[in-house]
Amino acid sequence: MDNNNNNNNNNNGDAMIIGDGQSRQQQQQPPMKRVFTPFQPCRSADCYKKLQTINEGAFGVVYKAYDKETGEIVALKKIKMEREKEGFPLTSVREIKVLMELKHPYLVDVKEMVFSDKSVFMVMEYIDHDLRGLMEAIKKPLMQSEIKTLIHQLLSGVKFLHQNWVIHRDLKTANLLYTNSGELKIADLGLAREYGSPLKPFSEGVVTLWYRAPELLLGTAIYSTPIDIWSVGCIFAEIISREVLLPGSSEIDQLDKIFKMLGTPNETIWPGFSKLPLVKNLNLIPQPYNNLRSKFPHITDLTYDLLERLLTLDPERRITASEALEHPYFTENPPPRDPVLMPHFPTTHKAS
């Protein structure tokens, strides 16, 4: 059950708890970087002309469109209302709230909300690619310097969300957009939640299976920012290898793949592991070896070290976004590529 407990009242410089909100390191809470725009009348959806369908998911349909008044190309997300019996979808309320209040270069920008007689639309900046589709479309792997730029941008956006008490809860390559200006944008915040200290229970069924942290798979309802960091580690590995790191077919299979890759947890490497809700239901076969390195034999030692820290089994010991941005991986040669020099690609959105 989700309990909303944000920390808008904690702007007095009190120490915030990072990680899962229990015994992790403390640091001073940064000032809130929220944007509260003055009320403006909502325009009609008729101000936009749809050009093509870009994507359709559980929570909405996204169109490429243009503003009839300015000619600006935008992404127009129609919010699905058909399944709602009691008003506006809660997931959409959360996404709109987060994206309208939090502005950052590596978060997709929401411009306004528009309405028609029976539909509600979110107007966002139009971006040519999602990272998953782009990696499937391009023929050659990204250069090391380009991967560093993408991961640095991703961690910067994730750090910003976490500093502002927001967990994304569904980071994956399909939810990351890439502009032809060389910028990565975090999108699809329908599952995002504000969190607080102390932590309260949240929904367990979050994060797409292949990117889901082991503590979620083991049934914890008390979690925080480390679940996003695990997803970043899976994304990092996927960008390097151009294939999904842990493509499980079920929750049990996902856990099996994680433990075969990283070793079976115990109380020594993950204090409290045995007390997680679903551990008693598992017949765990001890596998003491971490096989992550054998999956990536050609990466540098620093690349491997960052990847391993992102994919640490114990969420208390998993690196934070702030710590990851200071990792020496980003200062070893080759350095991250300047975004203006990042490659440009033909759009991967097919007309439909």
Q: What is the pLDDT of residues 121-159, one digit of tens each?
A: 989 999 989 999 999 988 888 999 999 999 999 999 999
- At 287, the pLDDT band (50, 70, 90 cuts) reads confident
With residue 231 as reference, give the H or E element that holds it: helix 226-241
In this structure, CATH architecture of domain 43-125: 2-Layer Sandwich (3.30)
CA distance 246 to 249: 10
CA distance 172 to 191: 12
Q: Which residue has the higher pLDDT, 279 or 197?
A: 279
Token pair for residue 3?
């309990």
pLDDT above 90 (res 9): no
Q: Is the peptide bond before 198 cis (omega within 30 degrees of 0)?
A: yes
Instruction: Give 18-70 pLDDT, tens digit per residue.
Output: 343 333 433 333 444 555 454 456 688 999 999 999 887 666 789 999 999 99
Q: Show the 3-state SS of 27-90.
A: EECCCCCECCCCCCCCEEHHHEEEEEEEEECCCEEEEEEEECCCCCEEEEEEECCCCCCCCCCH
- In CATH terms, the superfamily for domain 129-341 is Transferase(Phosphotransferase) domain 1 (1.10.510.10)
Task: Assess whether 170 carries a catalytic annotation.
Answer: yes
Residue intervals in the chain for CATH 1.10.510.10: 129-341
CA distance 264 to 207: 22
Q: Which residue has the higher pLDDT, 326 or 30?
A: 326
CA distance 83 to 67: 29
Asked if 204 contacts 216 with a C-beta cutoff of 8 angstroms, the reply is yes
Q: For residue 13, what pLDDT is reported?
A: 36
Q: For residue 18, what pLDDT is reported?
A: 36
- At 351, the pLDDT band (50, 70, 90 cuts) reads low
Residue intervals in the chain for CATH 3.30.200.20: 43-125
Which candidate in 170, 188, 228, 256 is catalytic? Answer: 170
- Collect all residues with Cβ–Cβ distance below 8 Å to 255 and sequence separation of at least 6: 214, 217, 218, 248, 282
Instruction: Give 245-263 pLDDT, tens digit per residue.
Output: 999 999 999 999 999 999 9
Q: What are phi and psi of 50, to 5 degrees?
A: -75, 135
Q: What is the pTM of this model?
A: 0.85
The overall average pLDDT reported for the chain is 85
